[in-house]
Amino acid sequence: MSIADTWSHSLTARTVGSRYEPSVCLAGAADRLASPGGGEIQMLSTARALRGAGVRARLWQAPEDPLVEADCLHLFGSLPEHRPLVEVAYRQGIPVVLSTIAWFDLVSYWREPRPLVGRALAAAKFLARATCPALPSWRRRLYHEVDLLLPNSSAEAQQLVRYFGVPASRIHVVPNGAEERFSAADPTPFCELLAVEDYVLYAGRIEPRKNQLAFLRAMEDADVPIVVLGDAAPGHEAYLAQCLRIAGPNVQFVGRLEHDDPLLAAAYAGAGCLALASWYETPGLVALEAAMSGTPLVLPAIGCAREYFGDHALYVRPDDPAGIREAVLTALGRGRSQSLANYVRENFSWTAAARATREAYDKVL
């Protein structure tokens, strides 16, 4: 039974004039704020934008931080650690919404660069789930316990219905966004720092899902500068070492840049193209941020990137090295696209995401 069917909640949000301002607590993975990935940036950016959309939003550090005077709890990510948080909110009569940030695909599970046993188990679980959406799991329980699910795309929403039996009425799509500051960045500081220009930028946590190793192999003999931006994800230091071993002299590795560091915006603006040959993206905040300045995009065919960018990007399969190489070289020849920049600025700002999120809160309140 959904919390929405049982909770009784007296509204405590302030009213300024005639405008209702709900108080919302936002929480993500407890151990990732020190080294935030896309999900954490999505949460932090959403919180900032919500404050301009009439929502008193604050980050929640469970369990020591009580949900005092909160009208709603907003969780980010499909994580088993979220289930106890839902219980905490439930006991206090507080509704919960969940930004799922998830993707389910048989080919991705089977072809990920993991040991055979792990891939076979993941594929078997997916097939069982596809055959029987009512199959119990912590993920299904989480999806059915919260009041509303907020996937980042219609494709992700359809997966929640198909594989977990979530009623469409309990889903509210909230697209990802990017900050306007990325649209007017000066590439000079980054290009001068690395003594490089018109490079291929590969940005993201260094881990098998992001597929940097296969990308570097695909581009091994290409005479183009490559910049790999990001740190190894915890537990994947050996994967980074593999990438470093096969990288040629044209490849530079740069550690993770803070999201508000001007060098990050400069890195996007100076790139000849942004490449992501990941096993999937939903759609990947770096793609939206790079696109703000019109940087040509090479994105994974698996995931929902195509739903966001349509014909504005090139798409590759993560296990197709020839296709990756061809798409990257084609993108480099295209040059910066003002139509792409305009399209993303008009459709995928955090202001627009905050409006859609506020609509979700209004549904459960």
Co-location of 299 and 257 in the same domain? yes
Tens digit of pLDDT for each residue in 294-337?
999 999 998 899 999 999 999 999 999 999 999 999 999 999 99
Burial 253-285 (b: 16+ CB within 10 A, else e): bbebbeeeeeebbbbbbbbbbbbbbbbbbbbbb
Co-location of 173 and 226 in the same domain? no
Co-location of 238 and 297 in the same domain? yes
Q: Is 329 exposed, middle or buried (0-12, 13-18, 19+ CB in 10 A)?
A: middle
Co-location of 168 and 224 in the same domain? no
Co-location of 220 and 143 in the same domain? no
Co-location of 138 and 172 in the same domain? yes
What does the pLDDT average to over 70-88? 94
Tens digit of pLDDT for each residue in 16-40?
444 678 999 999 887 665 556 778 8
Total of domains in the chain: 2
Co-location of 254 and 132 in the same domain? no
Which range, of 115-124, 125-134, 272-281, 302-311, averages the lowest pLDDT?
115-124
Co-location of 12 and 79 in the same domain? yes
Give the residue numbers spanning the domain of 66: 3-177+349-364
**Which pLDDT score, from 0 to 100, does residue 13 have?**
44
Co-location of 119 and 234 in the same domain? no
Nearest to 182 by CA among 27, 256, 275, 289: 289
Co-location of 322 and 359 in the same domain? no
Task: Please report which confidence band the pLDDT of residue 283 belongs to, taking 50, 70 and 90 as the band edges.
Answer: confident
For residue 133, give the CATH number of its domain.
3.40.50.2000
Burial 65-94 (b: 16+ CB within 10 A, else e): eebeebbbbbbbbbbebbeebbebbbeeeb
3-state DSSP assignment of residue 139:
helix
**Which pLDDT score, from 0 to 100, does residue 32 have?**
61
**Which pLDDT score, from 0 to 100, does residue 206 have?**
94
Co-location of 236 and 136 in the same domain? no
Co-location of 9 and 95 in the same domain? yes
